Structure 1
Amino acid sequence: MSITPFQALACPLDGEPLQQSVNAWRCASGHSFDIARQGYVHLLPVQNKRSRDPGDSKEMVAARQRFLAAGHYRPIAEALGRAALAGLSADAAASCLDAGCGEGYYLRELADAAADDGQPLALLGLDISKWAVLTAAKQDRRANWVVGSNARLPVQPGTLDRLLCLFGFPVYGEFARALKPGGELLQVDAGPDHLLELREIIYPTLKPERSGDATVPEGFTPLGIETIRYPLTLAGAEQIADLLAMTPHLYRANAEGRARAAALESLTVTVDVRLKRFARDEMG
């Protein structure tokens, strides 16, 4: 099969390579991490947690799953798939990590695109939310799914050909460590008009959007920026509520703003995102 689980995991406690047995991952130092019956592994040490249950809640994950399953962000997934698969050799399996994978939508879409192309890929999805990883693992066993943090990726150095970070929290030093020389980071961020119409409803005034398009992270060379922009019409209060629940705006808006959104029966918003590609600099 052309799509396989990524295997080059590292112990989150000492960085040593992990080896998989039937029901656990273990390092040479004796640290052991059980594989849940759903197929994922928890590689986020307690001392590295900022809260008891970090990341998206069970309810937020469910909202995101419903919204993405409806295909509202499929153009983003398609553009990401084209960019991620470009330049890969069909002679050997490339490895790809989705850092902040959520419930796994974009990695599943990438796996389907790679399978259609006959491109062998070893896949890893990582998120700090156990609810997100649990949901992802239940839906697809083609990838390895890990509860972990971008601040310390449980991945062996120089083992990734592609690293995805969508609407997430990039840690460029860790990304550079995990990528092979010449490997690519694909980062998706909101553009200045992203969900503008929703923001105009829930906020009394809008702050100017910060633009990070010109920022080049240390250790990387820019390869290009693609804009994905289109109108999206949401029909029904449930779809609008799901969109709000999967964004930071749910907590940033006040009660009055959330109430205005909840009263809507339909809404057309602008999807405006930037897909930025960077190559990890060659070393030595």
Structure 2
Amino acid sequence: MPLLPLTQLVCPLDQKVLLQTGNTWRCENNHCFDIAKQGHVNLLPVQNKKSKDPGDSKEMIAARRDFLNSGVYNPIAEALANTVNALCGDQDQLAILDAGCGEGYYLNSVCDALLTKDIQLQATGLDISKWAVRSCKIRNPKLNGLVASNRQIPLPDQSQDIVLCTFGFPVYSEFKRVLKPGGHIVMADPGTEHLIELRSAIYDDVRRSPPADISPALDDNWQLSVSQKVQFTSPVINAMQCEQLLVMTPHLYRASKEGRDRAAQLHDITITGDVLIRVISQSNC
């Protein structure tokens, strides 16, 4: 089955319905948003930007794309795909939002797994970085692409079955708003040992912080329904992959010059993957 396009969006300026006419999305107050030649639409108003080019840079996205294409993080992608597949059951229609999609690797992996079934699938990648959304659309032109913030998701209320948030910045109130009754938030966060080899090279004092706290998302209606650790040791990665890994993570920008110099010497090493996948499900349906 083909991936389905979006039929409605929400105007970021007045929260009115946006409908598509040709290459433009327009609301009743005549706010217009053109579809870029790459196929995505930018719904991040200038007044909502904290910089001229927010989010991950073009260089970070390119490094992440090349590193992920090497297959080192396949265990994470497979675990996410299996988790979402199990949540879907026998549904014949499904809408998925990847909130903080990056260059689309995880969303596309999930879609590949779901489309082996007889299902009508609408999949949307959203990111605050225009470079991320452009790369997501290049990876799979059939994915819907939105440049927007998780703080103001330009999708209608109760329009999504699943919201993915992989190594991202969750805004649970918005996630819950766009989810249908019985929907699920699928989180993937780094564990204490994730990339410990890289972090040990960069920092003099390595912090083994636990996965992000999800308690703000939990209440009488929303409960933790799945918790799965994904741990693996990568194949040997070469110097170029080490560089890509460094550039694609925040560690490059947090490290001292000495730490960056030490990281630049890494090559032909294995790295530890340690990720916690959690599903927050609506329980009152």
Change in 2 beyond 3 A, CA 1:221/1:136: same
Instruction: Answer whether contact 2:92 2:118 (CA < 8 A) is retained.
Output: no
What corresponds to 1:269 in structure 2?
271
Matches for 1:97-116 after TM superposition, within 5 Å: 97-116=97-116
Which has the higher mean CA deviation after the structures are superposed, 212-221 or 185-194? 212-221
What corresponds to 1:11 in structure 2?
11
What corresponds to 2:42 in structure 1?
42
Instruction: Answer whether contact 1:15 1:156 (CA < 8 A) is retained.
Output: no
Change in 2 beyond 3 A, CA 1:53/1:78: same
Q: Which amino acid aligns with 1:160?
A: Q
SS in 1 for 2:226: strand
Indicate yes or no: 2:22 matched with 1:22.
yes
Offset at residue 92 of structure 1 (A): 3.5
Matches for 1:1-284 after TM superposition, within 5 Å: 1-88=1-88, 90=90, 92-212=92-212, 215=215, 217-218=217-218, 220-282=222-284
How many Å separate the matches in 1 of 2:266 and 2:175? 40
Q: 1:192-234: CA deviations, max 9, x gaps?
A: 1101111111101112413446735145211020000000134
Instruction: Answer whether contact 2:211 2:276 (CA < 8 A) is retained.
Output: no
Offset at residue 263 of structure 1 (A): 1.1
Instruction: Answer whether contact 1:187 1:277 (CA < 8 A) is retained.
Output: yes
Change in 2 beyond 3 A, CA 1:268/1:132: same
RMSD, matched Cα: 1.6
SS in 1 for 2:158: coil
Change in 2 beyond 3 A, CA 1:23/1:108: same
Q: 1:65-84: CA deviations, max 9, x gaps?
A: 00111111111111111111
Which has the higher mean CA deviation after the structures are superposed, 207-216 or 140-149? 207-216
Which has the higher mean CA deviation after the structures are superposed, 151-160 or 86-95? 86-95
Report % sequence identity: 46
Instruction: Answer whether contact 2:193 2:208 (CA < 8 A) is retained.
Output: no
Instruction: Answer whether contact 1:90 1:120 (CA < 8 A) is retained.
Output: no
Change in 2 beyond 3 A, CA 1:87/1:201: closer
Q: Which amino acid aligns with 2:227?
A: I
Q: 1:85-121: CA deviations, max 9, x gaps?
A: 2242555421000000011111111111111123321
Task: Extract unaligned runs of 5+ from structure 1.
Answer: none
How many Å separate the matches in 1 of 2:215 and 2:188? 13
How many Å separate the matches in 2 of 1:100 and 1:208? 24
How many Å separate the matches in 2 of 1:95 and 1:168? 19
Task: Extract unaligned runs of 5+ from structure 2.
Answer: none
Change in 2 beyond 3 A, CA 1:89/1:235: closer
TM-score, length of structure 1 as denominator length: 0.95
How many Å separate the matches in 2 of 1:241 and 1:153? 33
Change in 2 beyond 3 A, CA 1:237/1:91: closer
Q: 1:111-169: CA deviations, max 9, x gaps?
A: 11111123321111000000111111123122210100001101101111000000000
Offset at residue 7 of structure 1 (A): 2.9
SS in 2 for 1:3: coil
How many Å separate the matches in 1 of 2:54 and 2:177? 24
Q: 1:220-252: CA deviations, max 9, x gaps?
A: 211020000000134321100111111111111
